[in-house]
Structure 1
Amino acid sequence: MNNKINTKYLLLILFLFVSSALSAQTIVTGTVTDAGNKQPLPFVTVTFPGSTIGVNTNDQGQFSIRSSQPYTQLKASYLGYKDAIVQVTPGKQQVINIRMFPSAKSLTEVTVKGKKNARYTNKENPAVELIRKVIANKDKNRPEAYNFVEYKQYDKMQFSLSNLSEKITERKFFKKYNFLFENKDSVSYPGKSLLPIYLVEKLSQVYYRKSPEIKKEVPLGEKSVNFGPAVDNEGVGQYFKHLYADVDIYANSSYLLGRQFLSPIADAAPSYYKFFITDTITTADNKKLVQLSFTPRNTNDILFEGDIYITLDGNYAVQKAALTINKNINVNFVRMMHVDLSFEANPDGRYHLSRSNTFADFGITQKRKSGLFGVRTVTFANYVVNKQEPEFMYAPNMEVNDEVKHRSEEFWRENRLDTLTTAESKVYKNIDSLTHMPSFRRTADLVTLLLAGYKGFGKFEVGPASTFYSFNPIEGFRLRVGGRTTTELSKRYYFEGYGAYGFKDDRWKYFLAATYSLNSKSIYRFPQNYLRVSYQRDTKIPGQELQFIQEDNVLLSFKRGTNDKYLYNDQFKIDYVREFENHFSYKLGYRNWVQTPTGTLFPFVDNSNNIIYHLTTSEVSAGIRYAPNEQYYQGKMFRTPIINKYPIVSLDFTAGLKNFLGGEYNYQDIKARFDKRFYIAPFGFSDVTVEGSRIFGNVPYPLLNIHRANQTFAYVIDSYNLMNFLEFVSDRSASVNIDQHFGGFFFNKVPLLKRLKLRETASFKALWGGISTQNNPATNPETFQFPVNAAGAPITYTLGNTPYMEASVGVENIFKFIRLDVVKRLSYLDHPDIAKIGLRVKIKFDF
């Protein structure tokens, strides 16, 4: 009986306690709308000020928030709007609707008082006079003004799924991933509910010396999420950092999203920007700053808009900057990108960069709010100027050791120059748990097959899928299957190969290779250091230079014109490749090469009608390459350089050895190449390639420089797209290739083209060359005759005084990934079976 009474009392007490707690709760529901158009605002952050309690409005702008604490205010925050603060009654349930007002200044509507109908002008404009003083003082305000500079740098990059719909997370398929979906950040960026999925941190000590100039970054610690073998984590990090490159406001331009943005304090800035003095500010230490707002003169140009704060202490230095990329420019998938720069004073009164924060909102469309949100924050500390360190501190960087990549949690807690949000701190553990789930591994495996073309089986993977089927006039229907070993088998030894069969020529083709990595790194990663032995038996079009084991992509099977001159190639190769941290590399090689003509190329003959069935070459080679500051996106099939402003120079030498392992000719072949991307803000950029070659010795035409032709319908940057295979040969040549991308500079001025985000391209290619008398069958009857067509007319020529030239104009970014060029051939128009004009297409995803 007493137990029952006690139980009743306990239940009564519990009921009263819960009722009291509920009655004391502050519960607020309502709708957030735009004060101007009365439309609901989704994903607005609603919080109790001073607390960590917050929610986001739904698609209809509705919210519901509660707390047992006696808060008296409610705050609504959203990018592009002024914060709204309303009063609430503590301990009650209530309905409060909130109106928000836009905060962005429309600088294009600033009214300048004075003369009636006055227009903006640089003349006698105090804002322009001030910016010219900033420009004049740029050199002394940059770190490079000091003889020596050193500082500690902490670099944090994070990507999150943004405003993920609750409907997705509630689906049965995603229930097992609830531990991911619960780790949200709704406070850091108002209006954004962020679910972090990627995080990388890097701590470095940086040393700069002015003369001789060198900047050395010594890694102290590196840490990043790991998605497992299905994802190239290092390559993803490099690509993200490429999008979020360092913004140096004192440089004339900065590289973001694959484009060069003109700085608001560039030398030519007054010609491209409008400037307005909008405020004068006194800092906490009683220093005067001028707030200078700026906007592009032409809103379609690749420019920033925003505010910079200028010191009035005689240095005219930038003390703070808020830069937003102009929303009208032609950029794919980017809804918004913003850069905040903060500077601190040195002991000498000048300022150095103390913090850079770049964040961007990515999405397939502008209307949908969900997408990807990326943030890169770089923090600088322990800034020391004009302190000379011992000489060894300025020596070139050494390879990062494993200790740097496996620092303890204690190390990061003590050395981070910034803090992780609660959501960020859980990313490492969450992604590690995710990668151990079988369902995620299966999904990643499928995505890898679709995007990279390989199907993994642990220690071995099969692919690439694009080569499983192809066809050509010699082999007819061709099937191929191949694969390679992975690092799960060994980080030292790698094996790869394929087997293929042509149903028309009834022949097997194959490739086998064994590679030994001398630095215990994957042979697909920088810096490479490996020795490879390989043997290949396969078909080849003379003059079509493709990478090993990628010749038979099914898309290359479709060609224009006559395409029946092939070779059977048997190649035994030994290659050694060595890359250094400063991006200088060299390679050494040996090749024994047997060429057997087939199709209408069969057989080789000379002017005495001697028939030659095989051509055997034994040759050694050496090459050097220098690509300063080169970065890569390293995929499963090959690594792709991320093109930047730095030049790439290469020099290759090959020597044929007669009577060595069957070699039939002595010769020397020298090739040089120069590549450079030139940024011409705001007119886009131009990729320029200059090449030269020279062959010394008496050789038949298959060993001459058979110039790169293209008879497919694809636009190939490095080839001559209206030149036929085997059309031109030479033993000395020079060429220039200019590929200009305007980035929408002209199309953005046409409303319809601007809306479609189309971009203009133009290119020009010219090839000069010649052939010596000893290698010309017209003057040397002992060398091979040039090929002819079925009617006996020549199809292979030497270049005369006139260069081969072709030009194109095109449109890129069609459906965000197609480039279409109209190509016009400008010379040698009397050759038979040529295309004088053609339409070519190129597939490329870009921002």
Structure 2
Amino acid sequence: MIKFQLITFLFILIGGVITAQTKVDGVVVDEQNNPVPFANVIFSSSSVGTITNENGKFYLQSDNNYKSLEVSFMGFKSRKVTLVKNVTYEMEIVLEEETSALQEVVIYQGKTSKKNNPAIDILRKIWENKRSNGVKKFKQYQYRKYEKQEFDLNTIDSAFANKKIFKGMEFIFEEADTNRVTGKTYLPIYLNEAVYQVYGNNVIGKNKEILKGNKNSGYSDNQTLIDFVKDLYADYNIYDNYLKFFDKSFVSPLSRTGINVYNYVLADTAFIDNKWCYKIVYYPRRRNELTFKGDFWVNDTTWAIKKINMQVSKSANINWVKEIYIEQEYDVLNDSIFLITRDHFMSDFSFNKKEKSRGMYGKRTTLYDNYKFDIKKPNNFYKETVDPYNYEVYNRDEAFWEYNRIEKLNKDERKVYTLLDTLKTVKAFKRIYDIGTILASGYVELDNFDFGPVFSAFGFNEVEGMRIRLGGRTYFGRNDPWRIEGYTAYGFKDNKFKYGISGKWLLDRRKRLIISGGNRRDVEQLGSSLTNTNDVLGRSLASSSLITVSANNTLSEINLSTFAVEIEPAKNLNIRVGGSYRELSAASPDFSLTHYTDNTHTTTSDEIHQTEISTTIRYTPGKITSGYGVERNVINLGDYPELFLNYSLGLKDVIGSGFDYKTIQFFYRQPWQIGGFGKFTSTVEAGKTFGEVPLGLLNVVPGNQTLFSIYGSYPLVDYYEFVTDTYLSVHFEHNFNGRLFSRIPLIRKLNLREIVGFRSVIGEISDKNQALNASTSHPDLFAPSSKPYWAWSVGVGNIFKVFRLDFHFRGNYLENPGARSFGVTGAFGFYF
């Protein structure tokens, strides 16, 4: 859902060209008028060039004047084309086959041989030496890193500029320029610069980045957008077998598995910076796979990469991204060591992959210099935490940036710092900006108070009928040290108001010392999760889903008050100690939480009053966050392991509390990228309650009576069908990301994605807890103790790019009353 909001925010903006010195585009064909893909196109007597795409098309530009163009490809005669004008579009260049060349090297533009191929022999040399290249050859290293991230509207033309939505903003299109890779006009709207000092120790396997300066323009106050950009362009290493972008694993052209998915051609040899290098051209063997096309130059002695260009094929199974272009350059140190000096990543976001469709560029350029080696730092240096916010870092003067910009800003990038400030004074733009903000964050900004989230405004359940919810939060800035949130809701069937309010205060930002508290009175579906939480503002989808497979009358009224203190003694390690008091009662006459209150089992109560203290430890290694306020944005949401341990103690006779008990719970979720075979997610949950407790305090296996696919729930299990005080649950899901469908003709054009899942739970309930139960709706509590309950599912994702269908099959316990053997659930989502 977060990605859906963020991408929508970007595309809400989509909807005067300054020419370079030399610009050309066109198509390269053979004598039969068939396109020649992956041909080399280069300005004569220069290193400025590109390769044609799958359709033989190319675009090339330079700030210098060139009079001719050279086109070549293995098996064809090279051709030199004179440029009559500096700007030449829609060229058609015909290449003639070269028979002698084909006799010497039998390599064609189709599939190349894996045997007796000199390009693959060179690739094997790269594999043998990749672990000893670059900074890995030294014990310690340090360098300066300058990073520039940018967003641009592209395919700007007069029709686009004259749209009514831009009335009053026509001046912004005077700043449009032309992209050197695609040839499209673009308008910069966002720019972020950062300078880091990087330290590393290969002996102990540690590294550390210290932010020295940060500056942004455009949507500088929208931390959600900034974090989204950082997540899209996470660091990568071209020597890795798989490169992860947009939550997908692309096969690297340098991968050990590359020979199975790429064609490789030895295209050229030349001296580059006085080093003899081979040029290898590569392109995909099959369509629809997550692969690249392009070329790289590799040194003939160290087998290190000198230059590499990578461009994702348009047929790749990835949504909303029409182009991905990567180029890296390396410098030579001491005649043998190649160090990266420049990394450029560009993607073209668009609703479709048509050539003339409008979209938005996302670009990241990273430059490296001031390399130093074997300067040892104490081991504690890598353990010490850096203050997450230093005022000077975010308020550097222009002299700092002039000195630390390894690559100077061009005139368009310099202007973007003032462009948005001007735009924000234009009413038409403010309307667009406000809509984008609502879609991205879910909140309507009102000075220092945000109204929302708007996506929770409506709901429905059997008890409340139609439900409306209004809420909001204080918001003075993304790094607020304190925050108050609240909501009120009304059900048109039970004619009752509900509410929730919470507050939290950051006392120490270094150790993340936070105190929090709140109160909620509402209607809730208990047992929608095995792992207990005391979120006073949280609400499960099961409580208010508009579409269900059967009536849900097992809702409870809850009055929950909480207070907690939490701290982060180490990175991504959170320890929380809290207390809570809750009152529970059935919200429907068809549901009962009744329990016996005496040892003789003669008196009963319909309500539960319970005081509890708990200690939770949450560890999320690899989680990346930004900001330093009481709330932080998670950059790589869902892409890191999570371990959770909870110990709760029920206190009898404290504020009218009814039960003594001890509960311990464990939760572990781990996503795994299985190379080019997709993403596997595993979840294990276990818990046990010691002591006698009623139905409302037991561990209910989370059923799912909605038609929505909810990870962690059991779609064919009804609410309260299985109730336990000891349990072990597993949930496995694998998304092949189209790996199988891409090999089936006709189907592969749909870019569908295969998903398989397996769920199982085993548990028991003690005789004492069974005897304590006096519920009229669930008189006999049942746990899957004789054998584990299990179910499996198959699913198809990426239907029309936004929809997923899951087909569920129940494995056992079919004799249970009302048991469902088969079911279908679905989900909407905005996924790459």
- 1:65-116: per-residue Cα shift (whole Å, max 9, x none)? xxxxxx99778999x9999652369xxxxx998624399x9xxx98885699
Distance in 2 (alpha carbons) for counterparts of 1:772 and 1:543: 18
CA offset at residue 136 of structure 1? 1.5
State the match for 2:646 in structure 1.
Answer: 652
- 1:635-658: per-residue Cα shift (whole Å, max 9, x none)? 999956634664222222211112
Distance in 1 (alpha carbons) for counterparts of 2:612 and 2:323: 55
State the match for 2:764 in structure 1.
Answer: 770
Q: Check 1:624–1:88 CA distance in 2 against 1; reply closer, same or farther (3 A cut).
A: closer
Distance in 1 (alpha carbons) for counterparts of 2:271 and 2:113: 28
Query: Quick check: 270-279 or 737-746, which moved more?
Result: 270-279
Task: State how 1:677-696 maps to structure 2 within 5 Å.
Answer: 677-696=671-690
Distance in 2 (alpha carbons) for counterparts of 1:458 and 1:711: 41
Distance in 1 (alpha carbons) for counterparts of 2:408 and 2:329: 17
Query: Quick check: 254-263 or 406-415, which moved more?
Result: 254-263
Distance in 2 (alpha carbons) for counterparts of 1:277 and 1:345: 22
State the match for 1:357 in structure 2.
Answer: 344
Distance in 2 (alpha carbons) for counterparts of 1:72 and 1:442: 43
Q: Check 1:755–1:115 CA distance in 2 against 1; reply closer, same or farther (3 A cut).
A: closer
| SS of structure 2 residue aligned to 1:138 | helix
Task: State how 1:54-65 maps to structure 2 within 5 Å.
Answer: none
State the match for 1:469 in structure 2.
Answer: 458
Query: Quick check: 198-207 or 165-174, which moved more?
Result: 165-174
Q: Among residues 502, 506, 531, which one is paired with 2:515 in the alignment?
A: 531
Distance in 2 (alpha carbons) for counterparts of 1:116 and 1:558: 56
1:86 aligned to 2:83?
Answer: yes
- 1:662-706: per-residue Cα shift (whole Å, max 9, x none)? 222222211222222111222111111122212222222321211
State the match for 2:711 in structure 1.
Answer: 717
Distance in 2 (alpha carbons) for counterparts of 1:548 and 1:573: 8
Paired residue type of 2:288: N
Query: Quick check: 532-541 or 141-150, which moved more?
Result: 141-150
Distance in 2 (alpha carbons) for counterparts of 1:96 and 1:142: 41
Q: Among residues 491, 505, 528, which one is paired with 1:544 in the alignment?
A: 528
State the match for 1:629 in structure 2.
Answer: 622
1:845 aligned to 2:830?
Answer: yes
8 Å Cα contact 1:275-1:292 kept in structure 2: yes
Distance in 1 (alpha carbons) for counterparts of 2:676 and 2:329: 26
Distance in 1 (alpha carbons) for counterparts of 2:439 and 2:329: 43
8 Å Cα contact 2:483-2:630 kept in structure 1: no
Q: Among residues 561, 566, 571, which one is paired with 1:577 in the alignment?
A: 566
State the match for 1:122 in structure 2.
Answer: 114
8 Å Cα contact 1:809-1:822 kept in structure 2: yes
Q: Among residues 285, 289, 292, which one is paired with 1:301 in the alignment?
A: 289
Distance in 2 (alpha carbons) for counterparts of 1:75 and 1:168: 33
Q: Among residues 769, 784, 801, which one is paired with 1:816 in the alignment?
A: 801
8 Å Cα contact 1:542-1:726 kept in structure 2: no
8 Å Cα contact 2:813-2:819 kept in structure 1: no
8 Å Cα contact 1:454-1:465 kept in structure 2: yes
Query: Quick check: 638-647 or 440-449, which moved more?
Result: 638-647
Distance in 2 (alpha carbons) for counterparts of 1:589 and 1:255: 39
Q: Check 1:155–1:827 CA distance in 2 against 1; reply closer, same or farther (3 A cut).
A: same
8 Å Cα contact 1:165-1:370 kept in structure 2: no
Q: How many residues align?
A: 769
Paired residue type of 2:276: K
Q: Among residues 729, 735, 757, which one is paired with 1:735 in the alignment?
A: 729
8 Å Cα contact 2:502-2:536 kept in structure 1: no
* TM-score, normalising length: structure 1: 0.83
- 1:748-767: per-residue Cα shift (whole Å, max 9, x none)? 22333222221111111111
CA offset at residue 321 of structure 1? 1.5
State the match for 2:745 in structure 1.
Answer: 751
Distance in 2 (alpha carbons) for counterparts of 1:762 and 1:516: 43
Q: Highest CA radius of gyration, 1 or 2? A: 1
Distance in 1 (alpha carbons) for counterparts of 2:89 and 2:333: 48
Identity of aligned pairs, percent?
Answer: 27
Q: Check 1:176–1:503 CA distance in 2 against 1; reply closer, same or farther (3 A cut).
A: closer
8 Å Cα contact 2:584-2:609 kept in structure 1: yes
State the match for 1:330 in structure 2.
Answer: 317
Q: Check 1:83–1:385 CA distance in 2 against 1; reply closer, same or farther (3 A cut).
A: farther
Distance in 2 (alpha carbons) for counterparts of 1:387 and 1:831: 69
Q: Check 1:155–1:77 CA distance in 2 against 1; reply closer, same or farther (3 A cut).
A: farther
| SS of structure 1 residue aligned to 2:253 | coil
Paired residue type of 2:719: F
Paired residue type of 2:83: V
Q: Which runs of 5+ in 2 are unaligned?
A: 1-20, 36-42, 47-56, 58-63
CA offset at residue 730 of structure 1? 1.6
8 Å Cα contact 2:224-2:440 kept in structure 1: no
8 Å Cα contact 1:219-1:400 kept in structure 2: no
CA offset at residue 404 of structure 1? 0.5
Paired residue type of 1:346: L
Q: Check 1:355–1:110 CA distance in 2 against 1; reply closer, same or farther (3 A cut).
A: farther
Task: State how 1:6-17 maps to structure 2 within 5 Å.
Answer: none
State the match for 1:346 in structure 2.
Answer: 333
| SS of structure 2 residue aligned to 1:663 | coil
| SS of structure 1 residue aligned to 2:159 | helix
1:208 aligned to 2:195?
Answer: no
Query: Quick check: 652-661 or 460-469, which moved more?
Result: 460-469
Paired residue type of 2:384: P
Task: State how 1:178-189 maps to structure 2 within 5 Å.
Answer: 178-186=170-178, 188-189=180-181
Q: Among residues 397, 404, 424, which one is paired with 1:415 in the alignment?
A: 404
8 Å Cα contact 2:669-2:684 kept in structure 1: yes
Distance in 1 (alpha carbons) for counterparts of 2:214 and 2:751: 38
Q: Among residues 160, 163, 171, which one is paired with 2:152 in the alignment?
A: 160
